[in-house]
Structure 1
Amino acid sequence: MGKGRWGLVAVLVAGVVAGCGDGGGDARPSLSTASPNGPTGTATGKAVTLAVAGVVATGVEVPWGLAFLPDSSALVTERDSGRIKRVTGAGIVTEVGTVAGVDASSEGGLLGIAVDPGYPKRPYIYVYYSSGDDNRIARLTYSNGGISEPTVILEGIPQAAIHNGGRLRFGPDGFLYAGTGDGADRPNSQDDDSLGGKILRITTDGKAAPGNPDGRLWISKGHRNVQGLAFGGSQLYAAEFGQDTWDELNAITPGANYGWPAAEGVSNLDGMVDPIAQWPTKDASPSGIAFAQGHIFMASLRGERLWAIPVADGKRTGDPVAFFTGKYGRLRTVEAARDGSLWLTTSNTDGRGDAKPGDDRILRVTVTQ
């Protein structure tokens, strides 16, 4: 059964149905055996080449979320310190403030960040963070180079030392999407009353967005730990940590069940949607993803590489290809900049990496076809 797509309107697109299988008839996702550092191509479609053009900034401590402002500078969250920093393309780094109430842990702390689509007329940014009791989403005013007026718009997302999810992304429909984790409690992912192991779709006031299945706060369930969200047109993609065997890239259909904990990777279970690509956990451990030039780019922590996955309309159109394997260490977040490049962050100061002088850093990556 073919996968539907999340539309640009505030209601479910007519005819959208929960998909099954691996994306509408493509062969089962296979592992890339391509050269780890490129340049390489894809099985079908145009070849893509990535190159690190330079270092945007150094000395950022455990960067996690990154969101661009209209002036092409970016706001970056530091997981452990709870600070937000502004980084310009010229490498100027300034602190804009600290989010109160952040309780950092092995995988928790100040995580995702998103800029209101109406900025600066609506001078708001949104952050996802771990408190001592739960994970929360808050709205902050960002103006005159500082943050103020913090307002928690959603709380009660399961929190633990691990599996906190945390990525935020505004969709083309104007609503805020959030990837959550199971909070180290597997049944959360299948519990319709839990916000754990879900992809949320909410208004900027933290309410269920119009058109969500059954009026819930979430649009998909059965996730283990979603740390990557990206839109290719109206299609939402999500990267997910597996446990011991398979990490996943999923094409998201509203109302669908992605299988965890019954399924990890392609499992062909009735009523559950398989990923469109999968990797052994040693080759990925995926966090942030971005869409550009017909590809999902996926930053990998344990895998220490940037994957390029050709996609179209919720299907994988060629083999994933890895770049920069082992060269820059753990890679956490990738975002598409306004000039067509990618900004890519390392995560070597997070307690699990091998920090080098200058870490953590933000790299500028060029993409050519």
Structure 2
Amino acid sequence: MLAVTGTSLVPLAGCLTGVDSDGLELATPEATPDDDWSEPDWRPADARPTEDDVDATTVVADLEIPWDLTFADDDAFLTERDGGVRRFDADELAETDEIPLGPDDGETILEGEDLPDRASPGEGGTLGIAVHPNYPDAAELFVYYTIDDDGTENRVVRYDLETDELETVLDGIPGATTHNGGRIAFGPDGDLWVLTGDAEDPALTQDPGSRAGAVLRVTPDGDPVSEPVDWGTDGDPRTYTLGHRNPQGIDFTPQGRPVLAEHGPAARDEVSLLRPGGNYGWDLVRGGPDDPEYDGYDEYDEATPPVINTGPQTTWAPSGLAFYDDETIEAWTNHVFVAGLASNALYAVALTPGVAEGDGASVTDDTGTHYDDDWLDDRFEATAHTLFEGEFGRLRHIEPGPDGSLYLLTSNRDGRAGDEFPLEDDDRIVRLDPA
């Protein structure tokens, strides 16, 4: 039996629910911590990744809508959107060959019903998972999930594997049938980063007192970090950036810079290198100067542009993201990998710093799609390559393993798969090893 405790958090302030977002202005902080931006000291990706660089092996089959995967010490922890949390042996995942494991081969350490008030409306449910950076000495898991408690919200809890105690560390995150965000991760600073969606109410994303449409940065206890962004008296000091629509992917460069992927409206998907106190524009800003429906980043000095915006004609539907700085798959080193849902593809993004401004339009050729438009983040040019298009179906996440391999999660049983998917053994964990 789980013991459940909780913490009382500061009430939300300045809620703009019900306000017409057309009348909003972009929110800006009163003060931000110093942005320690400098030229990267890591080698930019200089090889073109291809599918021939890796061998793909299904290592776990017959899962039910897996959502997140993380490795710690000798363990791998997996969430399933309509269920709970499973634990696998990391060595077993690395060594499994022809006969894939089934879900019963992974120990269920949290059932869905173990999570208080848990609900799974639409795209909600059991979503992100993170492990305390001092695991196994601190045997604690952190889980982001959707609740129904007089309304739909999202919550982050801490689960102690030794005592079976659950404690709420962050609540008051608006939720809905869609746009719940949900990815969580510990950064190199030991803080917990939490991605939240706009909960189908875009006006909330320009309210610094709301926890919707934001990247939150907190301590493992859910408190503000020691040097938070100052959003004013009505702002939430847990908010690192805001103006996001539905972010679902975060990882960190070797220098500790957070890299984010988020869903755009009818395409216009984005990859960003976050700046503290940045406002990423939703839903006032979402494109370039020629976008037929949304204002452009070049029109708003307060808006922080991404390094990639796929434009109104191209959909990635990005979810999980990983910065791969291992050299096990040599040609893939220092690429950002982004899992695509509706696109049924994996994207490999190379970031090149210090390039000249482009001519205002992204270009696709036989070396990839180049994003160097003059309204994008001028610190980098991004080049994206498309891998495995249509081979595995919908991809929810990609996670580096301790063995240097990469692990893909499919999402073909979420009701949105097409063509021949779901396959008989979906959903799956697919391991990518060097060929």
With normalisation by structure 2, the TM-score equals 0.72
Correspondence for 1:150 among 166, 172, 181:
166
Q: Encode CA deviations 1:73-120: one digit per residue, 9 max, x unaligned.
A: 311001112x11123313442222214232001110000000000111
Q: Encode CA deviations 1:159-183: one digit per residue, 9 max, x unaligned.
A: 0000000000100000000110010
- 1:348 is matched with 412
- 1:95 is matched with 108
Correspondence for 1:271 among 296, 302, 306:
302
| Deviation for aligned residue 1:14 | 3.7
Q: Which runs of 4+ in 1 moved over 6 A?
A: none
Q: Is residue 190 from structure 1 mapped to residue 206 from structure 2 by the alignment?
A: yes
Q: In the aligned structure 2, how far is the partner of 1:301 from the partner of 1:182?
A: 19
SS in 2 for 1:45: coil
Correspondence for 2:276 among 242, 251, 254:
254
- 1:319 is matched with 383
- 1:339 is matched with 403
- 1:106 is matched with 122
| Deviation for aligned residue 1:13 | 6.2
Q: In the aligned structure 1, how far is the partner of 2:189 from the partner of 2:45?
A: 30
Q: In the aligned structure 1, how far is the partner of 2:198 from the partner of 2:248?
A: 12
- 1:74 is matched with 76
Correspondence for 1:238 among 260, 285, 288:
260
Q: In the aligned structure 1, how far is the partner of 2:268 from the partner of 2:339?
A: 16
Superposed CA RMSD in Å reads 2.4
Which 10-residue stretch deviates more, 90-99 or 159-168? 90-99
Q: In the aligned structure 2, how far is the partner of 1:128 from the partner of 1:119?
A: 18
- Cα contact 1:44–1:317 (8 A) shared by 2: no
Higher relative contact order (CA 8 A, sep 6+): 1
Identity %: 36
- Cα contact 1:77–1:112 (8 A) shared by 2: yes
Q: What letter corresponds to residue 69 of structure 1 in structure 2?
A: A
Cα separation, partners in 2 of 1:15 and 1:175, compared to 1, 3 Å: closer
Q: Encode CA deviations 1:337-365: one digit per residue, 9 max, x unaligned.
A: 11111110000011112311000000011
Structure 1 residue runs of 5 or longer lacking an equivalent are 1-11, 18-22, 24-42
Q: In the aligned structure 1, how far is the partner of 2:175 from the partner of 2:249?
A: 18
SS in 2 for 1:239: strand
Q: Is residue 358 from structure 1 mapped to residue 389 from structure 2 by the alignment?
A: no
- Cα contact 2:307–2:381 (8 A) shared by 1: no
Q: Encode CA deviations 1:311-334: one digit per residue, 9 max, x unaligned.
A: 267854441001000111100011
Which 10-residue stretch deviates more, 262-271 or 196-205? 262-271
SS in 2 for 1:193: coil
Q: In the aligned structure 2, how far is the partner of 1:216 from the partner of 1:140?
A: 24
Q: In the aligned structure 2, how far is the partner of 1:308 from the partner of 1:44?
A: 10
Cα separation, partners in 2 of 1:367 and 1:258, compared to 1, 3 Å: farther
- Cα contact 2:198–2:213 (8 A) shared by 1: yes
SS in 2 for 1:223: coil
| Deviation for aligned residue 1:275 | 1.2
Q: In the aligned structure 1, how far is the partner of 2:55 from the partner of 2:213?
A: 34
Q: What letter corresponds to residue 76 of structure 1 in structure 2?
A: L
Cα separation, partners in 2 of 1:306 and 1:191, compared to 1, 3 Å: same
With normalisation by structure 1, the TM-score equals 0.84
Q: Is residue 136 from structure 1 mapped to residue 155 from structure 2 by the alignment?
A: yes
- Cα contact 2:308–2:382 (8 A) shared by 1: no
Q: Which has more radius of gyration? A: 2
Taking the TM superposition and a 5 Å limit, the aligned residue runs for 1:119-130 are 119-130=135-146
Q: In the aligned structure 1, how far is the partner of 2:219 from the partner of 2:287?
A: 31
* Number of residue-to-residue matches in the alignment: 330
Q: Encode CA deviations 1:242-298: one digit per residue, 9 max, x unaligned.
A: 011300001100111111001113422321011101225753100000011211100
| Deviation for aligned residue 1:142 | 2.0
Q: What letter corresponds to residue 257 of structure 1 in structure 2?
A: N
Which 10-residue stretch deviates more, 351-360 or 106-115? 351-360
Correspondence for 2:242 among 218, 221, 235:
221
- Cα contact 1:57–1:87 (8 A) shared by 2: no
Structure 2 residue runs of 5 or longer lacking an equivalent are 1-31, 231-235, 289-295, 325-332, 354-376
Q: In the aligned structure 2, how far is the partner of 1:245 from the partner of 1:296?
A: 20
- Cα contact 2:181–2:196 (8 A) shared by 1: yes
Q: In the aligned structure 2, how far is the partner of 1:69 from the partner of 1:152?
A: 22
Correspondence for 1:160 among 176, 192, 201:
176
Which 10-residue stretch deviates more, 109-118 or 206-215? 206-215
